[in-house]
Amino acid sequence: MSYKNFPMVPRVIFGRGSFNQLNEIIAPKRLNINAPFIYLIDDVFKNEPWLISRISLSYDDKIMYISSKEEPKTSQVDDLVEDIILNTKERPSGIIGIGGGSMLDLAKAVSIMLTNKGKSHEYQGWDLVKNPAIYHIGIPTISGTGAEVSRTTVLTGPEKKLGINSDFTPFDQVILDPELTKDVPKSQWFYTGMDCFIHCVESLNGTYLNAFSKSYGEMAFNMCKDIFLNDNLSTEEAQDNLMMASWHGGMSIVYSQVGVAHAMSYGLSYLLGTKHGIGNCIVFNHLEAFYPEGVKLFKSMVAKHNIELPKGICADLSDTDFDIMIAVALGLEPLWENALGSNWKKIMTPKKLKLLYQKL
Ligand code: NAD
Ligand code: ZN
């Protein structure tokens, strides 16, 4: 048996107000005055001077505001890379992603594609990237996805929704400043937070589980229970803890995998554009057969926070639509193997999966 040798984020700074140290962190990483830092920032912050005014641009540094209305696409990555190549004198000194999972994934993908030939969809999969990415920093502004720590950047391409999983994907630096999450709308806080909770349930109940994943997964799972079910934390403590739970949840799946909810949610996202957090919630709500304890807890969290999950989202779909979703979902073999074991194909047939999708 040979064990995988995973890279990790080599540098991380944590603390309320740590974002203020961004400028001093990047200064030594500037290659020269013609090699700018490019900021990819969620456009929700466009008119938010409390955040933007703390970024000091030098030389040709540039902020690109990007909408996270839709999740990152390979074509979007390719357009951004082309724009950067055409408008910079030299290859950038670094890419800095500021936002939720969408911006973090875009920053990772752009930094990879600036040093690798061709189109980003060619790298969707495992270990296809040849050259190291340029220096990239992730600064989450909403907690839950674990994208700040993971080895993947999830992209929707012409044929599939699949990550670029590679040793060059993880950030070189992460800044964890929980204060940046202060204005996240409640429903989004819940959906993205539940992404973390679901990562833990899927990891802790998977066949790939091992002590590495279990220790991180249990830590994040308990923090989520505390944040979403108990009333013992202050607002600040809850923000701090959710940011760390996201990190630990991400660490847990480094050495295991996610499961049924994620596989099905990828199918929804590919066909209907359903976003990751809410998509996971819509699916997970119906997975008591696979994750009885986790779903029970989830339902009490939904009730406690008065969250209205959308219903009937597959009501008007055609057979062809179902086939597309089923193909995307069943294509994610490691997720099913983790969830159901090596015989998973016998357990989760296309027919059974269709019945599950029809429940949503
Ligand atoms: P997101 O980045 O799509 O953002 C969700 C919403 O929250 C957006 O409207 C955004 O504008 C808003 N927002 C973010 N920060 C805010 C703030 N501080 N104040 C106010 N509004 C704010 O959401 P997400 O759930 O963090 O990320 C989802 C994406 O992450 C998906 O594309 C998914 O595929 C990806 N993902 C990646 C990984 C990975 O390991 N790479 C893991 C899980 C999910
Ligand atoms: Zn997820």
- Which one-letter amino acid corresponds to residue 282? I
Residue 1 has pLDDT above 90, yes or no: no
Using the predicted structure, report yes or no on whether residue 145 has a pLDDT greater than 80: yes
d(CA 329, CA 160): 10
| 97 Cβ below 6 A of ligand 1 | no
CA of 331 to the centre of ligand 2 (A): 17
Q: What mean pLDDT do residues 16-30 have?
A: 98
325 and 160 in contact (C-beta within 8 Å)? no
pTM of structure: 0.97
How far does the centroid of ligand 2 lie from the alpha carbon of residue 250, in Å? Answer: 9
Q: Which atom of ligand 1 is nearest to the CA of 72?
A: 32
Ligand 1 mean position to 300 CA, how many Å? Answer: 23
- Looking from the CA of residue 69, the nearest atom of ligand 1 is 9
**Beta pairing, strands 152-156 & 125-126:** unpaired
Give the whole-angstrom CA distance, residue 99 versus residue 127: 26
Closest ligand 1 atom to the C-alpha of 102?
A: 2
Q: Are 249 and 200 in contact (CB under 8 A)?
A: yes
CA of 102 to the centre of ligand 1 (A): 5
Q: Is 206 in the pocket of ligand 1 (CB under 6 A)?
A: no
Average predicted confidence (pLDDT) for the chain: 97
pLDDT of 74 reads 98
* Ligand 1 binding pocket mutation candidate from 52, 106, 188 (most atoms within 8 A of CB): 188
Verify whether ligand 1 is closer than 6 Å to residue 147 (CB atom). Answer: yes
DSSP 10-41: S-EEESTTGGGGHHHHHGGG---TTS-EEEEE
* Alpha carbon nearest to ligand 1 atom 5, residue: 100
Q: Which residue has the tokens 């060619």?
A: 122
What is the reported pLDDT for 161? 85
d(CA 253, CA 199): 7
Give the 3-state secondary structure of residue 259: coil
Q: Which residues pair with 163 in a beta bridge?
A: 154
Residue 187 CB–ligand 1 contact under 6 Å: no
DSSP structural state of residue 143: -
3-state SS of 204-215? HCCCCCCHHHHH
Question: Would the pLDDT of 115 be above 90?
Answer: yes
Which of 46, 102, 160 has most ligand 1 atoms within 8 Å of its beta carbon, as the pocket-test mutant?
102
The pLDDT-based confidence of 160 (bands split at 50, 70, 90) is: confident
Whole-number Å distance between alpha carbons of 81 and 83: 5
Is the pLDDT at 226 greater than 90? The verdict is: yes
> Which atom of ligand 1 lies nearest, measured to the CA of 142?
15
Residue 276 CA, ligand 1 centroid: distance in Å: 8
Which residue's C-alpha comes closest to atom 2 of ligand 1? 100
For residue 338, the model assigns a pLDDT of 97
Average pLDDT over residues 96-121: 98
State yes or no: pLDDT of 151 exceeds 80.
yes
- Given this model, what pLDDT does residue 331 score? 94
Closest C-alpha among 148, 159, 279, 258 to residue 205 = 258
Residue nearest to atom 8 of ligand 1 (CA): 68
State which of 105, 162, 255, 282 you would mutate to test the pocket of ligand 1, scoring each by most atoms of that ligand within 8 A of its C-beta.
Answer: 105
The answer on pLDDT for 159 being more than 90 is no
- Angle of the 211-229 helix axis to the 186-204 helix axis, nearest 10: 150
CB 321 within 8 A of CB 271: yes
What separation in angstroms does the CA of 274 have from each of 90, 172, 210, 217, 310? 37, 30, 31, 26, 11
**Ligand 2 center to 72 CA (angstroms):** 14
Confidence bin at 2 (pLDDT 50/70/90): confident
Q: Can you tell me the mean pLDDT for 134-152? A: 97
Ligand 1 pocket check for 142: Cβ under 6 Å = yes
Q: How do residues 50-108 score in pLDDT, each as one tens digit?
A: 999 999 999 999 999 999 999 999 999 999 999 999 999 999 999 999 999 999 999 99
Task: Choose the residue to mutate in 124, 154, 257 for probing ligand 1, maximizing ligand atoms within 8 Å of C-beta.
Answer: 154
How would you list the strands of the sheet with 152-156, edge to edge? 125-126, 161-165, 152-156
